[in-house]
């Protein structure tokens, strides 16, 4: 009898393994088939030789999609010419790219947010465009789809205390596609919430606002930002005290910087003693999943943010 139980157990184990492998196949079979060369880059995180990719010197109008899952990643409007040897972009489609520390410990790797396909690396501070960002992408990770009408989304970055409340209000704003809580302004790559809360990393709690410029302007968003928090509080926001809760506008270009200063001047002529800092954009690090859409998930209202018309 003991021997029979062993046989039954072995059979059940084998069946379970078969079902597991079948399930794994079913999950992955929706991805596009890859050649050995494509798999080396997209799955095993290799790099194609410089100047060898089909999209390196390619500037037609359209959009660039993930070779593995077809997710839309980049607009041709954000592609620019460099001599690095790989396609370069200074922005991505909102929510399409996930950034993480590379295995080498110091570069920032980019992967497709939908399927995890390796795309390349992102570099900041080279001053090649106004946005001061370069997404260095392997051509082999991309598929180009031509088209005349390419939707161009823009992004803006605001810090106004706890990012839960700032995110909540921006997601209600007409023209905003998405709002993402995260961190910006510090000296440490990919910080955790716990590390930011120590006040030692230099990061602020920041919200990345992806918006349709055809429906809402940057100036409208900046005005809204000043109206959903107290820009006169110098040590935090409401009961949240600390350097990570300070008020700041992170600008991407000269035009945004001028708009921020213009609005601050207007508020100061109205009697507001503005504490908001105006700072050049740095790398944005998305916060942990449990911080995203916090008030919606909790079915609550912000406790330290409220709308007050100021303009």
pLDDT tens over the chain, length 311 residues? 444 555 545 544 554 444 444 443 334 457 899 999 999 999 999 999 999 999 999 998 889 999 999 988 999 989 999 999 999 999 998 788 999 999 888 899 999 998 999 999 999 989 898 888 999 999 999 999 887 555 567 899 999 999 999 999 999 999 898 899 999 999 889 999 999 999 999 999 999 998 888 889 999 999 999 999 999 999 999 999 999 999 999 999 999 999 999 999 999 999 999 999 999 999 999 998 888 887 888 788 888 898 999 99
pLDDT of res. 23: 45
Q: CA-CA distances (angstroms) from residue 272 to 166, 172, 264, 268? A: 20, 25, 9, 5
pLDDT of res. 242: 93
Strand, helix or coil for residue 247: strand
Among residues 310, 290, 291, 294, the alpha carbon closest in space to that of 302 is found at 294
Cα torsion angle, 248, 252, 254, 255, sign: negative
Alpha-carbon dihedral 177, 183, 189, 192, rounded to 10 degrees: -110
Residue extents of the structural domains in the chain: 36-146, 153-298
Provide the H-helix boundaries in 98-253: 163-170, 193-197, 218-227
Which positions are annotated as active-site residues? 136, 162
What does CATH list as the number for 153-298? 3.30.1060.10
Q: What is the pTM of this model?
A: 0.59
Place of tokens 């809580």: 181
If you classify domain 36-146 with CATH, what class do you get? mainly beta
The count of residues in the chain is 311
pLDDT of res. 298: 77
pLDDT of res. 276: 98
Among residues 28, 109, 113, 107, the alpha carbon closest in space to that of 65 is found at 113
Question: How many CB atoms are located within 10 Å of the residue 25 CB?
Answer: 9
């Amino acid at each position: 009898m003991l021997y029979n139980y062993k046989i039954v157990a072995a059979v059940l184990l084998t069946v379970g393994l078969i079902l597991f492998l079948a399930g794994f196949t079913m999950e992955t079979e929706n991805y596009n088939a890859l050649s050995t060369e494509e798999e080396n880059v997209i799955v095993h995180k290799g790099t194609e030789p410089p100047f060898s990719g089909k999209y390196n010197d390619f500037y037609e109008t359209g959009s660039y999609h993930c070779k593995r899952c077809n997710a839309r990643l980049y607009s041709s409007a954000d592609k620019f010419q460099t001599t690095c040897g790989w396609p370069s972009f200074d922005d991505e489609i909102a929510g399409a790219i996930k950034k993480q520390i590379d295995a080498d410990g110091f570069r920032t790797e980019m992967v497709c947010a939908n399927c995890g396909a390796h795309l390349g690396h992102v570099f900041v501070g080279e001053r090649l465009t106004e946005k001061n960002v370069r997404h260095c992408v392997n051509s082999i990770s991309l598929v180009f789809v031509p088209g005349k009408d390419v939707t161009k989304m823009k992004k803006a970055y605001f810090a106004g205390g706890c990012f839960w409340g700032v995110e909540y209000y921006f997601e209600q704003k007409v023209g905003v596609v998405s709002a993402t809580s995260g961190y910006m302004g510090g000296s440490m790559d990919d910080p955790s919430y716990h590390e930011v809360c120590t006040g030692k990393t230099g990061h602020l709690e920041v919200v990345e606002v992806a918006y349709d410029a055809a429906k809402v302007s940057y100036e409208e968003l900046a005005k809204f930002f000043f109206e959903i928090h107290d820009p006169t509080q110098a040590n935090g926001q409401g009961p949240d005290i600390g350097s990570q809760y300070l008020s700041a506008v992170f600008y991407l270009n000269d035009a945004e910087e001028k708009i921020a200063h213009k609005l601050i001047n207007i508020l100061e002529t109205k009697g507001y003693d503005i504490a908001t800092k105006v700072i050049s954009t740095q790398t944005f690090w998305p916060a942990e999943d449990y911080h995203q859409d916090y008030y919606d998930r909790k079915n609550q209202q912000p406790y330290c943010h409220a709308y007050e018309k100021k303009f």
